[in-house]
Amino acid sequence: MINENAVKDGAVITQDWQVERQDITGVHCKEVLHVPRDHGVITEMYRPEWDPTGLPVGHCYQSRLFPGAIGAWSCHAKQIDRLFVNQGHMKVVMYDGREDSPTFGTVNEFHVGDTRPTFLVIPTGVWHGVQNLGAGDVLMLNFPTIAYQYHDPDHYRLPFDSDEIPYSWDIGVRNTARLRADAKKPRV
């Protein structure tokens, strides 16, 4: 008999090694394969058709994260972020903060970088944060739809440990949900 307090895994991965998740509406994930050749590797980073919004690239910049660093939480009212990561091991977490969204309150986790080069589309109103889980720097490219406005950045922030977002960076989405549910149980 398995421990009565144990929780059995549900389906977590598909036969094509895709993570089972309820995608936040408007978030798009395009995994890219490296193309190795005798003398090196080609890896595509951006194509217009990878973003269903069809909006143009307004800007491109690189964000380097040091090992262990957490950059959270960010949100934009006008720009759509299009992140691409293929160096290092980064966790990208998104939280749907849009009360009119069918996936309001949903959290999505993505592990991207060397092992899973990935292009992610992050709509306005979706909170997002990143964590470098590797031993080396992570290089993250962003191709947002609007250029950074030095005088008036479209950048809203919440603290990385904000209670407004049901996610804890040190224990992940599943354990956070359980701990928060336990906290709501009446004390006996």
Ligand X SMILES: Cc1cn([C@H]2C[C@H](O)[C@@H](COP(=O)(O)OP(=O)(O)O[C@H]3O[C@@H](C)C(=O)[C@@H](O)[C@H]3O)O2)c(=O)[nH]c1=O
> Total residues at the site for ligand X (CB under 6 A)?
10
* Token pair listed for 48: 């217009």
**How far apart are the C-alpha atoms of 154 and 157, rounded to whole Å?**
10
Binding mask 102-141 for ligand X (x = CB under 6 A): --------------------------x-x-----------
Q: Are 62 and 84 in contact (CB under 8 A)?
A: no
Our finding on whether 180 is near ligand X (CB under 6 A) is no
Our finding on whether 74 is near ligand X (CB under 6 A) is yes
Residue 76 CB, shortest distance to ligand X, in Å, is 7
Our finding on whether 167 is near ligand X (CB under 6 A) is no
Residue 88 CB, shortest distance to ligand X, in Å, is 14
Among 104, 148, 160, 169, binds ligand X (CB under 6 A): 148
Our finding on whether 63 is near ligand X (CB under 6 A) is yes
List C-alpha distances in Å: 174 to 90, 161, 170, 177.
Answer: 18, 16, 11, 5
Nearer to ligand X, 36 or 61 (CB): 61
DSSP string, 72-120: EEEE-SSPPEEEEEEESEEEEEEEE--TTSTTTT-EEEEEEESSS-EEE
Cβ-proximal residue to ligand X, closest one: 148
Nearer to ligand X, 104 or 148 (CB): 148
Q: Are 134 and 47 in contact (CB under 8 A)?
A: no
DSSP string, 23-43: PPTT-EEEE---EEETTEEE-
Our finding on whether 149 is near ligand X (CB under 6 A) is no
Among 86, 87, 106, 142, binds ligand X (CB under 6 A): 142
Nearer to ligand X, 98 or 128 (CB): 128
- Burial 35-53, CB ≥16 within 10 A → b, else e: eeeeeeeeeeeeeeebbee
Which residues make up the interface to ligand X (CB under 6 A)?
61, 63, 71, 74, 81, 128, 130, 142, 148, 155
